[in-house]
Structure 1
Amino acid sequence: MADLLVDRADGVVTVTLNRPKRRNGVTWPLIEELVRELEHIAGNAHDRAVVLTGAGGAFCSGMDLAESVAPDELPFMRRVGQVVTLLHEMPKPVIAKVAGPAVGFGCNLAFAGDLTVAGESAVFGEIFAERGLTLDGGGSWILPRLVGLAKAKELVFFSRRVSGAEAERLGLVNLTVPDEDLDKTVDEWARTLADGPALALSVMKKELNKAYESSFSEAVETESLAQAFSFSSAEAKEGMRAFLQRRPARFRESAS
């Protein structure tokens, strides 16, 4: 049975961690599969939106500690870092669909994309301190940006678990829905993004990811350059036609 499942449908590519007996704990082979698939998605124009999820009622329980990576811990962790970097820099929107546990690396994996939708069964936990371990998966960068420095330290120092509902209240996730509505909600979000202006979404993602790393004036100049370029794009022309004709834009056609 494959540890990673990939399904493509109408511009949406769904990547599923598929080790349900281990609650989708990650191993070195699974990390390598993720790197290869995410690199492929990044360069595939037919993949317009990405959904990352887990099989069997769990998102990801973090590292599978039963699978030792000694004595190559550093090369392994750098590949782990490459996975979340690929999600963060993916030139198309990424939605994490979370049911059940998303803990340790799995917690930060859920936050490494752009949007996180949780079911009510979801449990998020930065449980590293309980194991005598330190943060990985980009958590030291992501968490303070989501919830602020003090709350990030609280979550990390005390290995706090939070429910899907509390995660939404804290700003860790975008939305929490009943488990039975999770698939439908994420499918609607993903299809809306896949139908959207791929180039514009990619540029806006890149701009927003740099929001905390540039001054206001630098951000305004970056916006000016990007917007001046976008005015002449096929997507913008289609958007204007759709506005004047009072119809929904058909951005997929402008990309063909």
Structure 2
Amino acid sequence: MTAAPEREVIGGLRVELAEGVLRITIDRQERMNALDLTSMNALGDVLTGRATEPAVRVVVITGEGIAFSTGADLAAAAEGPEADPRVVMESANRVIRAILTLPVPVIARVNGPAAGVGASIAFAADLAYAAPRAYFLLAFVNVGLMPDGGSSLLVPAAIGRARATEMALLGRKLGATDAAAAGLIAQVLAEDELSPHVDAVAARLARGPRRAIELTKRSLTAATLARIDEAIERETEGQIELLAAPDFREGVAAMLGGRAPDFGR
């Protein structure tokens, strides 16, 4: 008899464990699954706590509704600073590091837009599968910030410096099909095929040899992302400076006001 799934709701997330698969669903649909400090901390807590339990053999991260995650909740930040910028950065960095260092595989089921740190979360996953309507956007420059969440290394490591630079400096969307063709994600699947495919891959991994999978993941990460800690530290210091700068305030005000920002001062 199959055991009933274990379910929990915490900080804007739904967490469910069944058959060795821990599914984490970001459920802040009113904010397009943007992550505020509470939900980012909750995600970090799950990834460094529940996801490390022996019963967990694979982790799946996805979003509820039409978006995967549109990144940091700038609307919430505009309503009042939640914390010191360093605290905010450390919260996001903990999530990325946890995804990369978990002994079990992490799958990103990208059901819709993935922007900012939401895109970084998808890029950090071991396997990312996307729906055709999904896109990836390093939106940081559009609000006077720089890429974070390790994406300054994760993206060029996957698609090369030239295309990564275009994404980061111009803040352009990369559609799911183009992202797959460039090697940034594993595969694009039709809307009705995405969930069955992710479920099948997760089940296969959950049945696989745990230690062999762990060592394989560790080896691949070390070979391709050996300097990820350096990248995260550079991002953190740069982002702390930029979060206190006038361009960020102008970028957020413009975004919330539905106008083009004026960075020409």
Would you say same fold, with TM above 0.5? yes
1:101 alignment partner AA: P
2:75 pairs with one of 66, 85, 93: 66
Distance 2:34 2:59 in 1: 20
5+ unaligned residues in a row in structure 1: which ranges?
Answer: 215-256
Equivalent residue, structure 1, for 2:47: 38
Counting only pairs closer than 5 Å after superposition, residues 229-244 of structure 1 correspond to structure 2 as none
Question: What corresponds to 1:10 in structure 2?
Answer: 19
Q: 2:99 aligns with which of 79, 87, 96?
A: 87
CA offsets, 1:171-219, max 9 Å, x none? 11100011111100100000000000011100111111111467xxxxx
TM-score of the superposed pair, with normalisation by structure 2: 0.78
Unaligned runs of 5+ in 2: 1-8, 227-265
1:42–1:91 contact (8 Å) kept in structure 2 = no
TM-score (normalizing by structure 1): 0.81
Which letter does structure 1 place at the counterpart of 2:38? P
* Cα distance in structure 2, aligned partners of 1:16 and 1:112: 16
Q: Which has the larger radius of gyration?
A: 1
% identical aligned pairs = 35
Structure 1 residue 144 displacement after superposition? 1.1
What SS is found at the alignment partner of 1:97? strand
| Structure 1 stretches of at least 4 aligned residues deviating more than 3 Å after TM superposition | none
Cα offset for 1:70? Answer: 5.3
**Secondary structure class of the residue paired with 2:219:** helix
Contact 2:153-2:225 at 8 Å conserved across structures: no
Which letter does structure 1 place at the counterpart of 2:145?
Answer: L
The 1:131–1:39 alpha-carbon spacing in structure 2 relative to 1, beyond 3 Å, is same
- CA root-mean-square deviation: 1.4
In the TM superposition, residue 14 of structure 1 has moved relative to its aligned partner by 0.3
CA contact (8 A) 1:58 1:101 kept: yes
- Confirm or deny: 8 A CA contact 2:124 2:154 kept in the other structure: yes
> Partners in 1 of 2:65 and 2:225 — Cα distance?
38
Pick aligned residue for 1:27 from 18, 32, 36: 36
Tell me the equivalent position of 1:130.
Answer: 142
Inter-partner Cα distance in structure 2 for 1:99 and 1:43: 25
**Could you tell me which residue of structure 1 aligns to residue 255 of structure 2?**
none
Q: Considering Cα pairs closer than 8 Å and 6+ residues apart, tell me whether 1 or 2 has the greater RCO.
A: 2
